[in-house]
Structures are given as structure tokens and as C-alpha cells.
């Protein structure tokens, strides 16, 4: 089973690239972030033509997440539990193909310190609490998406320059480690301990051309899923396509 995550940075703008990548890579489950569209604007028809069932939590202009699957799917949650007043579309959770999968678009948090950073940390605390509760299901759980966290200096092209950014601050990294300590496995780093690899390159300052990137898109696996992992890779190719997203897909393979 192949499971992928991708921050597409506007599904309507990137649709040709998304369809091209899905047709070529054929993942079974796909978790998308930053759709930047309401549910009604999502391209259900085009994705259905590729064999995908779709679950969407959209939002006009900002945010938005989706789960696509070649298996039947059931929506378990269309927002992150813990704050009924939080209206930002950043989380959707489905059960499909024998796994429980969530698409996550974690707040950026900049400028930090500040109100946006405080919201990021509160959101991460809610995620950690919910992630712990999911372990009680004793099933394969996949929490994947744009975490907006560089877990370590090895995940940043220039650690000194990024030290005070919300993606790299100690508070963000501590919240991310809390997820791992609760029992989740970070798929890419577990299988690629020495590899330097990025998932995001800013549009500014020719970051892509200079390979000045960071690794902020992650796949976290519960013990029942981690026991089945075979591979986890980052696909850089779509970043070089016309009108590319500033993120690239990350995917893993689990034994059936």
C-alpha cells in the first residue's frame, strides 16, 4: 500500500501537476493540504476519473485539506478535536483500506513569538492529545501532512539563519518530539537517517535553484503501521514542473 502526502498550495492552480503525478505514481491513499478552495470548488470529477474517492474539508482562499483513496472511505473527523471555536480547515481523518489516515496542515506560526505562534503551539498540543487517543484503537494510524516543523538542524539548509523561525524554534520541536515519544514513528528519518533532503523550497531568492530548502512535510506512523513500513521517499521532481507548488510529495509503502 502506497500512501502519499502533498501540500499542493492551491488545488485548482496545481491541478495539472497533481493529476500528472497521481497518474504516474499511483498512490493508494493521498493526503493533500493547502487546497485554498471551498468543498464545492474541489475537482472531484477529475480525481474520480483516476479512481479516487475524496473526502474534503475546504476553506475559501486559505488552508483546506483532503484525503483521497482508491478504497472506500469513511470520514471520522473533519476538524481537529479540542477547540470547537477553531474554524480553520487544517485536519481531516478517514478510515480507508484498513488504515486510519489524517491529513494535517499545521499552522506556520510566524512571526514568533506572537499570537500566531501561540496558536501553533496550542494546535500542536491538541494534535498530540488526539494522536495519543488514536493509539487506543490499536490499528494502523497514519498522520501525514505539512507539519511546518523542521525536527532538527539536519532538516534545514542553513540552521543559523532559521534558528528563530517558528518552524525551527525549540518550542515547535519539543511539541513534535511529544508526538514521537507518545508512540509514533517518523517514517522518512527512520529509514533515511543520514540523508539530507528537503520537502519545501520558498518561491523567493531562487531557493529551488540553489537547493535552499527545509524538510517540514512528514509521515508519522502508529506502531501497527510502523511494523509494516517498507520504504519512505521524497519526490523532488514536481518542484521543477511549470507553476509548481513550493512543496513536493512524500510517500511511504506499507505491507498489506
Pick the closest to residue 46 from 74, 63, 23, 65 (CA basis).
23
Residue 234 has what DSSP assignment? E
> Which residues of the chain, if any, have pLDDT below 50?
none
- DSSP annotation of 84 reads T
Q: What is the pLDDT of residue 12?
A: 97
**Looking at residue 208, what is its pLDDT?**
98
pTM: 0.98
> Which residues lie below 8 Å from residue 174, measured CB to CB, with a gap of 6+?
none
Question: How confident is the model at residue 200, as a pLDDT?
Answer: 98
Note whether 254 and 191 are within 8 A (CB).
no
Please report the pLDDT score of residue 47 as a whole number: 98
DSSP state of 69: E
pLDDT at residue number 177: 98
Position 226 scores a pLDDT of: 98
**Rounded to whole angstroms, how far apart are CA atoms 48 and 162?**
40
Q: According to the model, what pLDDT value does residue 129 have?
A: 98
Amino acid at each position: 500500500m502506497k500512501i502519499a502526502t502533498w501540500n499542493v498550495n492551491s488545488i485548482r492552480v496545481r491541478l495539472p501537476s497533481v493529476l500528472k503525478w497521481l497518474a504516474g505514481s499511483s498512490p493508494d491513499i493521498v493526503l493533500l493540504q493547502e487546497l485554498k478552495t471551498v468543498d464545492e470548488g474541489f475537482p472531484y470529477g477529475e480525481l474520480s476519473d483516476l479512481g479516487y474517492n475524496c473526502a474534503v474539508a475546504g476553506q475559501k482562499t486559505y488552508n483546506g485539506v483532503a484525503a483521497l483513496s482508491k478504497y472506500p472511505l469513511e470520514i471520522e473527523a473533519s476538524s481537529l478535536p479540542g477547540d470547537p471555536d477553531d474554524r480553520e480547515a487544517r485536519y481531516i481523518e478517514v478510515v480507508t483500506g484498513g488504515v486510519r489516515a489524517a491529513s494535517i496542515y499545521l499552522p506556520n506560526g510566524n512571526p514568533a513569538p506572537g499570537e500566531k505562534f501561540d496558536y501553533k503551539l496550542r494546535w500542536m498540543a491538541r494534535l498530540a492529545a488526539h494522536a495519543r487517543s488514536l493509539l487506543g484503537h490499536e490499528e494502523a494510524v497514519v498522520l501525514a501532512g505539512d507539519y511546518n516543523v523542521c525536527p532538527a538542524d539536519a532538516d534545514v539548509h542553513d540552521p543559523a539563519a532559521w534558528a528563530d523561525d517558528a518552524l525551527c524554534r525549540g518550542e515547535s520541536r519539543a511539541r513534535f518530539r511529544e508526538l514521537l515519544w507518545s508512540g509514533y514513528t517518523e517514517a522518512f528519518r527512520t529509514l533515511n537517517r543520514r540523508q539530507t533532503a528537503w520537502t519545501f523550497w520558498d518561491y523567493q531568492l531562487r531557493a529551488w535553484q540553489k537547493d535552499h530548502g527545509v524538510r517540514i512535510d512528514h509521515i508519522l506512523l502508529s506502531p501497527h503501521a510502523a511494523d509494516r513500513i517498507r520504504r519512505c521517499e521524497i519526490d523532488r521532481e514536481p518542484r521543477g514542473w511549470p507553476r509548481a507548488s513550493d512543496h513536493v510529495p512524500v510517500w511511504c509503502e506499507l505491507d498489506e
